[in-house]
Amino acid sequence: MILSDTEILEAIRKHEIVIRPFRRECLGSNSYDVHLGPWLATYTNGALDARINNPVTEIRIPREGYVLVPGQLYLGVTEEYTETHAYVPFLEGKSSVGRLGIDIHSTAGKGDVGFSNYWTLEMSSKLPVRIYAGMPIGQLIYFSISGEVRQKYGSKRSAKYRTVSDRPTPSRMYMNFRPKRSKKNWYKQR
């Protein structure tokens, strides 16, 4: 079930959901609007490689805005830092943003219980469009879960996006290709 505005406020009061900065006017009937932070990143290599840490160039969005061009992937970031300790957050684009031809994520709209960070956006546009830091970019929707969560995101050894950053975080897929270490030999391999 999706949390209503009343339930989101109650979860914030109980510290089960954290949103900083929190602005009451951004709370909808069953979602919370998030805004585009001041940083974008683009990959610098023409062809990306899933086995390596692909380099990026960071772009600070100027006051006059920045034009997204079709065919280019931009990593953006939310202005808001969030924590979710008892619910599953989903990030969806706002309809006004979609009507400008902007997609804010290609596959990564679902968070995990225990996620505590800024959200990296996988942005693309169908037409050239000027964007601005601080503009509404998406909405967080919170789902209740059934059953006990044994391991929250932040406590998983395999969690690749735990380091808090207010800058876009590039793919860390390359970490999936590292050789697995047995517990027995772990200390010898360090």
Catalytic residues: 122
CA–CA dist 115, 139 (Å, integer): 16
Q: How crowded is the C-beta side of 24, counted as CA atoms within 13 Å?
A: 3
- Cα angle vertex 28, ends 167, 105, to 5°? 40
Task: Tell how far CA 190 is from the center of its chain.
Answer: 31
CA–CA dist 82, 116 (Å, integer): 6
CA–CA dist 100, 31 (Å, integer): 21
CA–CA dist 189, 15 (Å, integer): 40
Cross-strand partners of 93: 138
CA–CA dist 91, 132 (Å, integer): 19
